């Protein structure tokens, strides 16, 4: 079954490699969507080009994985391998349940070959509330928590923002994407953006953050915690409130791509927990 049950919560690992179904009681929080790939090297690999110091041009390629699950006495082990251009990528995840109802996942990514890595991480598909105002993302900061909704419905309109047009209310900005970027061991940034093609709005920054992000709707929510995220910088999370994709980044695509000339290794350990009693 490739499933872990802890308390009232159920986590199931799917064909893409990561969690593709999660529920608490009768409330489903994570569910696979058609065409969804859960282990990703988002924005893909960029082929090596000796004539350029930095790959500002060139085709970016997604990496598709062959995935194997192994059930163990403690939990589930996921092994995946993929190839793009002249590089290969191997992923191993070790997952086990905790007594407090969370699932702990330890991951190791290994990239071998020659080229550029634009981003690598783990993503899973969230069940979205039909009301955009109810799609809430929260990130923990050094001094406070920052929260935003896909449709804030409480901010002034601006012609510089992309927006939706409604006959019944004003044209509020949509905060489609946002998250946490730890770009250095002693610096983090919480941000949100109208789209991937627009500039991000900084919400909070500091030297140390607790390393968690949470998505919630009116019935349930899921939190991902990376306690030692600063040791793994650059790293981070993004939440896409329009597609319902939450991504854990071992190398964020907003950071300068990594040049691979042999081997790159990235690791991390995360806690996934579900809250089934939201009040928005």
pLDDT tens column, 168-185: 445 567 899 999 999 999
Question: Does pLDDT of 89 surpass 50?
Answer: yes
- For the stretch 113-140, pLDDT in tens is 988 888 889 999 999 988 888 899 999 9
Answer yes or no: is pLDDT of 163 > 70.
Answer: no
| pLDDT at position 225 | 98
Higher pLDDT pick, 271 / 258: 271
Q: Which two tokens stand for residue 278?
A: 């939201």
Instruction: Find the mean pLDDT for residues 207-234.
Output: 95
Q: In what order do the strands lie in the sheet with 3-6?
A: 3-6, 9-13, 19-24, 27-31
Structure confidence at residue 53 (pLDDT): 46
pTM of the model: 0.88
What mean pLDDT do residues 186-194 have? 95
């Amino acid at each position: 079954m490739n499933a872990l049950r802890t308390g009232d919560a159920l986590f199931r690992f799917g064909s893409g490699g990561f969690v593709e179904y999660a529920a608490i009681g009768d409330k489903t929080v994570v569910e696979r969507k058609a065409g969804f790939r859960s282990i990703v090297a988002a924005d893909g690999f960029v082929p090596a080009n000796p004539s350029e110091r930095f790959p500002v041009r060139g085709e970016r390629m997604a990496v598709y994985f062959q995935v194997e699950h192994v059930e163990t006495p403690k939990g589930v082990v996921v092994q995946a391998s993929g190839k793009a251009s002249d590089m290969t990528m191997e992923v191993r995840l070790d997952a086990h349940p905790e007594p407090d109802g969370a699932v702990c996942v330890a991951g190791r990514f290994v990239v071998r070959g020659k080229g550029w890595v634009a981003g690598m991480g783990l993503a899973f598909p969230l069940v979205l509330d039909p009301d955009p105002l109810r799609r809430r993302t929260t990130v923990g900061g050094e001094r406070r928590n920052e929260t935003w909704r896909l449709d804030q419905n409480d901010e002034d309109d601006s012609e510089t923002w992309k927006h939706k047009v409604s006959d019944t209310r004003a044209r509020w900005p949509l905060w489609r994407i946002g998250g946490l970027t730890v770009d250095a061991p002693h610096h983090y940034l919480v941000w949100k953006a109208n789209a991937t093609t627009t500039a991000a709005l900084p919400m909070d920054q500091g030297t140390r953050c607790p390393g968690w992000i949470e998505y919630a709707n009116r019935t349930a929510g899921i939190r991902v915690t990376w306690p030692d995220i600063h040791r793994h910088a650059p790293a981070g999370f993004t939440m896409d409130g329009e597609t319902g994709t939450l991504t854990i980044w071992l190398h964020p695509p907003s950071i300068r791509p990594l040049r691979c000339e042999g081997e790159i290794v990235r690791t991390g350990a995360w806690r996934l927990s579900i809250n089934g009693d939201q009040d928005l």
